[in-house]
Copies of this chain bind each other. A is one copy, B any other.
Amino acid sequence: MVQYVGVEHVIRLVASTGLPEVFTGLAGYIEEDFRRWADFEKAPRIASHSAHGVIELMPASDGRLYGFKYVNGHPRNTRSGLQTVTAFGVLADVATGYPQFLSEMTLTTALRTAATSALAARYLARRDAKVMALIGLGAQSEFQALAFKALLGLSRLRVYDIDRLATGKFLANLADQGFDITVASSSDEAVLGADIVTTVTADKQKATILSDNMVGAGVHINAVGGDCPGKTELQRELLLRADVFVEYPEQTRIEGEIQQMPADFPVTELWQVITGQAPGRRSDRQITVFDSVGFAIEDFSALRYLRDRVQGTDCYSEIDLLAEPDDPRDLFGLLRPALGRSVAALADIGA
């Protein structure tokens, strides 16, 4: 049998574990996997593009476990009341090739994206960071706010969205979560006095959510929204002034903010910072950018976390995705009980 974790299971897991603990747990698994970066077989995602959006498969393997995520991106889905992004993922045993664990990953991707952002900020933001600006209050925004609170203790937010309904939703969702929230009337106003700026807008275009003159010395920018070709949030000049950190350069140069820059634009890989092979923040005046696009290893970590966490709980069920005949060469034996005697055989015995 294959263990199955659906949307209801994840909700139950969050309820029984506590959301801050889920964020710190996820960040721990992601950090652990980033520390052993060289162990992984890495590949860019495999995309199938259409006029409506993209469907992607993102595989990763550490030689013992193989994982992949199915994920789509369909910007116009919201018009018909659907999610822009849905996802699910699988873990399999490399030694036998058997799938072991299947999970929803729409909620889980939102959780791991925020956990990765907060993990990166722990290495890249100023240690005395207290205020975060959050621009874009869509589906990922509350996850970002709560992950930064869980991992960095950050509770002062300055938020902005062009859509008042999104702002209202955000405020309602976080009303009782211990935040001190200032609603700004523009992106410019939101970033005033912020130590960390998170951009997580949804428009699929080359936008300028942050221009060079909006960002002062010492700020850490957590750039989440620019995550596919043709979709960016930061002005080019700002990237030239900053030090840019990425997950997997081969992918980020296609999908991230640095798609605006030449192919040799210098970046530092986050795993190198986490392992101490490269410096993270070097001064209180440096501007750092985490150019986040989401990488398969983060999904691998998230699946590992879920699998480990649900054991011994009621947060999973089992599905018969695997055929398990007693004799492996007798796959057909599984169908035997389903077969009637054939007409010819019945004729033979005079029936």
Q: Which of A172-180, A187-195, A245-253 contacts B (4 or more CB under 8 A)?
A: A172-180
State whether the Cβ of A211 lies closer than 8 Å to any Cβ in chain B: no
Would you list which residues of chain A between 335 and 351 have a CB under 8 Å from chain B?
A: 335-345, 348
The CA of A325 and the CA of B237, in the complex, are separated in Å by: 38
Contact partner of A104 (CB less than 8 A), chosen from B14, B98, B320, is: B320
Q: Is the CB of B331 within 8 A of A110?
A: yes
Q: Is the CB of A55 within 8 A of B339?
A: no
State whether the Cβ of A74 lies closer than 8 Å to any Cβ in chain B: yes
Number of chain copies forming the complex: 2
Residues of B within 8 A of A92 (CB): 55, 70, 72
Q: Is the CB of B46 within 8 A of A74?
A: no
* Minimum C-beta distance from A4 to chain B (A): 7
Q: Is the CB of B15 within 8 A of A338?
A: yes
Q: Is the CB of B19 within 8 A of A55?
A: no
State whether the Cβ of A57 lies closer than 8 Å to any Cβ in chain B: yes
Q: Is the CB of B11 within 8 A of A322?
A: no
* Minimum C-beta distance from A349 to chain B (A): 9
State whether the Cβ of A39 lies closer than 8 Å to any Cβ in chain B: no
* Minimum C-beta distance from A340 to chain B (A): 8
State whether the Cβ of A330 lies closer than 8 Å to any Cβ in chain B: yes
Contact partner of A50 (CB less than 8 A), chosen from B63, B321, B322, is: B63
Q: Is the CB of B98 within 8 A of A82?
A: yes
State whether the Cβ of A37 lies closer than 8 Å to any Cβ in chain B: no
The CA of A48 and the CA of B90, in the complex, are separated in Å by: 14
State whether the Cβ of A323 lies closer than 8 Å to any Cβ in chain B: yes
Q: Is the CB of A329 within 8 A of B106?
A: no
Binary per-residue interface labels of chain A (32-53) against chain B in the complex, 1 for a CB within 8 Å, 0 otherwise:
0000000001010010101011
Residues of B within 8 A of A328 (CB): 77-78, 81-84, 139
Residues of B within 8 A of A15 (CB): 337-339
Q: Is the CB of A55 within 8 A of B46?
A: no
Contact partner of A322 (CB less than 8 A), chosen from B4, B106, B325, B340, is: B106
Residue of B nearest to A169 (CB): B330
Residues of B within 8 A of A63 (CB): 50
Residue of B nearest to A77 (CB): B96
Q: Is the CB of B72 within 8 A of A86?
A: no
Contact partner of A57 (CB less than 8 A), chosen from B68, B96, B177, is: B68
Residues of B within 8 A of A98 (CB): 72, 82, 86
Residues of B within 8 A of A138 (CB): 329
Residues of B within 8 A of A53 (CB): 96-97
Residue of B nearest to A58 (CB): B57
Residues of B within 8 A of A142 (CB): 332
Would you list which residues of chain A between 75 and 96 have a CB under 8 Å from chain B?
A: 77-78, 80-84, 86, 88, 90, 92, 94-96
Residue from A155, A173, A176, A331 with most neighbouring chain B CB atoms (10 Å): A331
* Minimum C-beta distance from A341 to chain B (A): 5
Q: Is the CB of A19 within 8 A of B173?
A: no
Binary per-residue interface labels of chain A (155-188) against chain B in the complex, 1 for a CB within 8 Å, 0 otherwise:
1000000000010010001011110000000000
Q: Is the CB of B82 within 8 A of A139?
A: no
Binary per-residue interface labels of chain A (87-127) against chain B in the complex, 1 for a CB within 8 Å, 0 otherwise:
01010101111110000101100100000000000000000
Extra 10 A-B pairs, beta carbons < 8 Å, given A83-B328, A139-B328: A19-B339, A46-B59, A52-B96, A53-B97, A74-B95, A77-B97, A78-B329, A84-B328, A173-B336, A178-B342
